[in-house]
Amino acid sequence: MSVALKDIVSYCNDYLSVDRFKDYCPNGLQVEGKGTVSKIVSGVTASQALIDAAVESGADLLLVHHGYFWKGEAEPLVGIKGNRIRTLMKHDISLLAYHLPLDAHPEVGNNAQLAKIIGIHIEDGMDQGNPLSVGNVGSISQPMSATAFSDLVSDKLNRKAVLVEGDSRTVKRVAWCTGSAERMIERADQLGADIFISGEISEPVVHYAREAGIHYLSAGHHATERYGAKALGEHLSKTFGIEHQFIDIDNPA
Ligand SMILES: [Zn+2]
């Protein structure tokens, strides 16, 4: 079974409402390979290791959350960037990348998928009332201590999360935004969250949590964004009847 590349691209652009986002990179087809697709490989970041694994597995299309051509990045196709793109083009593999649209999508998005895995009931966007909000707020059914919640998340994501305890409050209301969104802790606090989950940690966020009383949980940039591209790949596989494989290139960050 194979499907026209352009059909997959236009389906994804539409499904993820790409036109409605202002982003730091182009969303959609970043590198064009062969015109038909019979196998999709998905992964978090279009690193050389993921591209090599995609070549090895016979992919026609590589689907990622972190592609190329970020604002401020050097443009010439030389060095590491040149090698990555040369490998894709040499093997006629297309690169399809979705950044914010894949964080925000209410079903396959990184934030929606993270909620499903941890068991958080989604109530709203962190940008309240916006169905395409990047980041959400919701609740867990059984209130628990911050350490118990941190252990639960570590267990579900198979990665030790870093907990910064605020005050002594138990966790019931949760806000989260995958990737590197630790600065959104202030917004999480305004929304009345007991804990805010994101991927990375920075020095000021620790003081903010301690002084505001909200807990902060740094659960890993890679670990929190491992599920969106995979869910989209599975969705495309079902929709178009083509093969899909998610390849996880381990990353401690
Ligand atoms: Zn990210």
Q: Domain map of the chain by residue range? A: 3-101+227-246, 110-221
Q: Which of 220, 225, 223, 217 shows the shortest CA–CA distance to 150?
A: 217
CA–centroid distance, residue 10 to ligand 1 (Å): 23
Hunting for tokens 């959609």 — which residue is that? Answer: 28
| Residues of the chain above pLDDT 90, percent | 100
Give the orientation angle of helix 5-15 with respect to helix 228-240, to 10 degrees: 130
Report the CATH fold assignment for 110-221.
Answer: 3.40.1390
**What would the pLDDT profile of 214-252 be if each residue is shown by its tens digit?**
999 999 999 999 999 999 999 999 999 999 999 999 999
Element (H, E) at 14: helix 5-15
Phi-psi region of 218 (alpha: psi -120 to 50; beta: other; left: phi over 0): beta
CA–centroid distance, residue 26 to ligand 1 (Å): 14
Angle, CA of 152, 156 and 159, to the nearest 5°: 95
Query: Distance between CA atoms of 188 and 127, rounded to whole angstroms?
Result: 10
- CATH code of the domain made up of 3-101+227-246: 3.40.1390.30
CA–centroid distance, residue 1 to ligand 1 (Å): 32
**What would the pLDDT profile of 121-166 be if each residue is shown by its tens digit?**
999 999 999 999 999 999 999 999 999 999 999 999 999 999 999 9
Same fold, 3-101+227-246 and 110-221: yes
CA–centroid distance, residue 100 to ligand 1 (Å): 9
